[in-house]
Structures are given as structure tokens and as C-alpha cells.
Amino acid sequence: MKIGLLGGSFDPIHNTHLSIAIKAKEELSLDQIWFIPTGNNPWKDQFHSTKEQRLYMLSLAMQKDDSFHINRIEIDTDGTQKNFTIDTIEELKKQSPHDQFYFIMGMDQAQSFAKWKDAKLISELVQLVCFDREGYDRDFLSEYNFIFIHDNPTGTSSTKVRLGDLNHVPIEVKQYIIEHGLYLNERVSKRMSQKRFEHTLSVAALSLEIAKGNGINENKAYIAAMLHDIAKEMPIDETMEIMNTYFKENSHKPTQILHQWTSAYIAYRDFCIDDREILDAISVHTTASTHMSRLAKCVYVADKIEPNRPYDTSAQIAQAIQNIDISFANELENFKTYALKKGIELDQEFIKIYKTYRKQGE
């Protein structure tokens, strides 16, 4: 068989990877394309999703083409041993001595090919294939016997996808990324100060703990917590524009709590979150409400007692992990006590919420 080999981190796989595979298969009359996700890339120090997540996204992306296959030779490498292409190819040649391999790469990779371990030997063991792009010098590659495919793949990259460009991944992969909260760290960090981001990470980590202890959906808890303050530092004019357009009934509320509604809106608009329970949890994380899901209680409590707060919350954290309903009721009590001590008048809405849930803390 004639088999194309396409290696990479695939963190995540995107449409350019797929278009390259399809084009190579057509141009070279290949029987199969093997996608080879790396386990320990010699050129990169870390991945942004787990091994299992990368493999699952690959499987989603290639499910419509029977000629596409995942080869786990690198990703199943034990320990921290780096995956060098020459080792992979030599092993594949041993396993399939009668197959002809075509190693596929982009021009950006080809530019550094001479620096690869045993580059000349690689070129003798497999047929090298490069997707040509304008503006690159390819004369120095002549000694490696490259086949050049002239194509103009999109400028999509895994980095761009991780930063939010989800329109260039298969719809199944996009949905998986959204539902599992993948790459939120990269996207959220770009939208807030370092101090706010550190708070957000702490709330998300605690939300996961609380969710796990209480049988609450952990993915939803993480996503809601990561996005609960996404609009906290939004300029006031933008905040009011969103409030007056989508949440007019609450636009008169104190400025410091408006971000719970605008954050829910940004989560929907910019992060494609359409899960009503997640959006509701974000939209009440500051004030609470008389209709709190256990997920909403989880985010509310985590926000109030996350360990970066300037006071000891260890006992409250332990209680929340054990029983979020009692913990939430007790946090309402703590706020009431604080407000009365500071001479802050409790509004009727809070009193109604307090009466609804406080009995659960008794």
C-alpha cells in the first residue's frame, strides 16, 4: 500500500490538517493517510490538552473518511522520551516492510528539515512530500528528494484555534472543545488582568473540587467558573450597552454586580456557550437568586471562598466539598452577618433569597 504519514501535535486537529491529507491522497494516489500524534515533541515542551483529548478530537475529525487512520506509535511512548521522526519511520518500516511511505509536511517544517535528526536517512527511507508556499526558498531541499504539492491551504493553525478561532475545525471537534472547556486558559487570560486571571483560575480549580465532591457536572463547573468574571473589567460604556440591550430590567442595578449578566452574554457570544445551566450559573454568581441550581451554588460559593482570599477559608472549602447545599446557605448567612456589621442595608431581593435557602444550613 501507499501510505501517507502526517505527524503533529494535533492540539487540536483543524481543517488545514484535513485538507492537506485529502490533497496529498488525491495527488499521490495514496491508499491511506496515517495521522501520527506525537507524545513528546522534541520541538515543544508542553501540550494544551491531554493525550486522550487529542486522540478523541482526531477520531471525531476523521470519522467520515475510511482511509484516515490514527497511528499511536508516538503518543503511546512511555515516559518523557522524545519522539524523533527517524525512530518512528524505522519502526514503521519494520512493522510494514512492504508498504511505501510518504512523509507529509508543510513548507514551514521543511525549512528546518536539515536540522532534523538523521535528515538524510529519513529521505532515503521514505518519500518526502512538502506543500509548497510562495515566499519560501526550496532550492536547498533538493538533496532530500522532496515531492512538492502546489496548494494554498488556509492560514489556520492550532494556536489560532486555541485562541478562539473555532470556525476552522470540524463541527464535531468544535462542539467537543466547547463542551469540555478546552483551551479556556489561553482565551480567558487575554481578556483580563493577571490578578483577575489568577482569581479566575483559583475559582475554577475550587469549583472542580466542589463539583466532584457533590456529583455536579465537572465540565460545566469548570467552564462556568472560568467565564464567571470574563466581563468584570469591561469598560463601563460597553457594559451599559449590553445591559441596555439584553438585560434592561437589571441595568439600574449597582455597577459592581452588572458583570454577572454581561459575563453570561460574553460567554454566549464569544465563547459559544449555549448551555442554559452554565449561563444561568454565571448570571447569578454575585447576587444569587431564588432559583439556584446546584451548579450555580457551586460557582457562587467557590467565588466567595476561593483560597486566594485574604482570610482563611479552609473550613468553608471542606464544608462545600462535602455538601454544597449547606455550604451555600451558610455563605448567605455569612454575607448577612457581614452586611449588618458594616451597616449595609439588605435589599428585599437578598432577603427573599436568604429566606428561601437559609433553612438548608440549619
The pLDDT tens digits of the residues spanning 257-266 come to 999 999 999 9
Amino acid at site 158? S
DSSP 8-state code for residue 358: G
Give the cell for residue 48.
494544551
Instruction: Output the pLDDT for position 338.
Output: 85
Lateral strand order in the sheet of 147-150: 68-70, 32-37, 2-8, 100-106, 127-132, 147-150
User: Does residue 310 have a cis peptide bond before it, meaning omega lies within 30 degrees of 0?
Assistant: no
Nearest to 158 by CA among 23, 9, 35, 7: 9
Predicted TM-score (pTM) of this structure: 0.87
- Give the HSE-up count for residue 350: Cα atoms under 13 Å, Cβ half-sphere: 15
Instruction: Output the pLDDT for position 361.
Output: 52
**How deeply is 23 buried, as exposed, middle or buried, from its count of CB atoms within 10 A (0-12, 13-18, 19+)?**
middle
**Which residues of 67-212 form beta strands (DSSP E)?**
68-70, 100-106, 127-132, 147-150
Contacts of 351 by beta carbon, 8 Å cutoff, 6+ apart: none
Residue numbers of the chain with a pLDDT score lower than 70: 41-45, 79-80, 134-140, 152-155, 359-362
Instruction: Output the pLDDT for position 358.
Output: 77
- Furthest-apart CA pair in the chain: how many Å? 83
**C-alpha span between 104 and 200 (Å, rounded):** 41
Give the cell for residue 287.
447576587
Q: Hey, which residues does 3 pair with through a beta bridge? A: 32, 101
Domains in the chain: ranges and CATH: 2-176 (3.40.50.620), 183-361 (1.10.3210.10)
Instruction: Output the pLDDT for position 109.
Output: 86
The pLDDT tens digits of the residues spanning 65-123 come to 999 999 999 999 876 677 899 999 999 999 999 999 999 998 888 888 999 999 999 99
Where is 106: in which H helix or E strand?
strand 100-106
Instruction: Output the pLDDT for position 288.
Output: 96
Instruction: Output the pLDDT for position 47.
Output: 81
Nearest to 164 by CA among 79, 281, 273: 273
Instruction: Output the pLDDT for position 340.
Output: 85
**C-alpha span between 338 and 346 (Å, rounded):** 11
